[in-house]
Amino acid sequence: MKMLERFFHDIKKYWNYAVYASKSELKGEIANSHLGWMWWFLDPLLFMLVYTFIAQVIFRKSEQYFPIYVFIGLQCWNFFSKTVKGSVKIVRANKGIIAKVYLPKVILIITKIMINGFKMFVSFLVVVIMMVIYRVPVDWHLLFLVPLFIGLVVLTFGISTILMHFGVYVEDLANIVAVVLQLCFYMTGIFYSIEKRVPAPYNMVLLRGNPIAYLVYEIRNSILYEITPDMLICVLWIVAGILLCILGINLVYKSENNYVKSI
């Protein structure tokens, strides 16, 4: 409990820094490219075209509103995987900072989540535009996005903090995480429907057992198909996510002292 108190105190104290650091990182990213911020839209749009092509032309499988379907999945997945992948090496990447000044290491993750969260938010503007073009009807089901995205953020934060800790000590963890993430990508149903394409009992196992697959599935249901999500599973995953966060925060605060000595 004391760790959590410290965590919230640190968040308050370093909030301004985290916001400013995220802004600078985003600004820096676009400063040197010709198309600048356009890439935040172009990147997911182009990947959407790639996966739509693969699914529709090569595998001849499709869903209703397929391009938007792929786009939403891709955005949620990118947020999760980029944050997790970045966290493994985040301490070493910020060596210049943490060797010279005390910074709670969880702030590094928070900054990362802000950056990737902002990109996800921006690209959802494209979803809105696409939905107008495809004339997708929407209703109050959009409200379910609030708990679903809370689940996504909490899980991402929890997993990232734990991986940040082990990433300091295990040098080749990044390679393994990259492979596992690739596997998860295919098991999350970004460009196909797990529910319809995976044979029966496994599809439900996968949808309920893989939190990202579940969240992506329900986010699509809420936005595109006006289907009410299974809130019990959502709540369960949020609780699991919070437990992971507590575990990760404790782990990091207990040993962050030694990080700078180990890198």
Interface ranges with other proteins (CB under 8 A): 16-17, 20-21, 24-25, 27-29, 31-32, 96-103, 169-173, 176, 257-258, 260-262
Tell me how far, at minimum, the Cβ of 38 lies from other proteins, in Å.
17
- Residue given tokens 């991402």 in the structure block: 156
62 contact partners, CB below 8 Å, separation of at least 6: 55, 56
Compare residues 36 and 209 and give the one whose CB is closer to other proteins: 36
- C-beta of 61 vs 85, nearer to other proteins: 85
Name the residue nearer to other proteins (CB basis): 33 or 228: 33
Smallest separation (angstroms) from other proteins to the CB of 27: 6
Shortest separation between residue 58's beta carbon and other proteins, angstroms = 36
The Cα–Cα gap between 90 and 152 comes to: 20
Name which of 223, 214, 91, 205 is nearest 144 in CA terms.
Answer: 223
Q: How far is residue 71's CA from residue 89's CA, in Å, rounded to a whole number? A: 28
CB of 118 or CB of 149, closer to other proteins: 118
Cβ distance to other proteins smaller for residue 110 or 190: 110
CA 155/CA 90 separation, integer angstroms: 18
Q: How many CA atoms lie within 13 A of 71 on its CB side?
A: 27
**Least distance between other proteins and beta carbon 178 (Å):** 13
Q: Minimal distance in Å, beta carbon 212 to other proteins? A: 24
In sequence order, what DSSP letters do the residues of 40-107 get, joined into one string? Answer: HHHHHHHHHHHHHHIIIIIS----TTHHHHHHHHHHHHHHHHHHHHHHHTHHHHTHHHHTTS---HHH
- What token pair was written down for 139? 């209703």
Of residues 21 and 198, the one with the C-beta less far from other proteins? 21
Rounded to a whole number of angstroms, the minimum distance from the CB of residue 261 to other proteins is: 5
Cα–Cα distance, 195 to 34 (Å, whole number): 41
CB of 45 to other proteins, least distance (A): 24
Residue 32 Cα distances to 21, 29, 150, 154, angstroms: 18, 7, 33, 33
CA–CA distance, 184 with 187 (Å, rounded to integer): 5
Closer to other proteins by Cβ: residue 169 or 202: 169
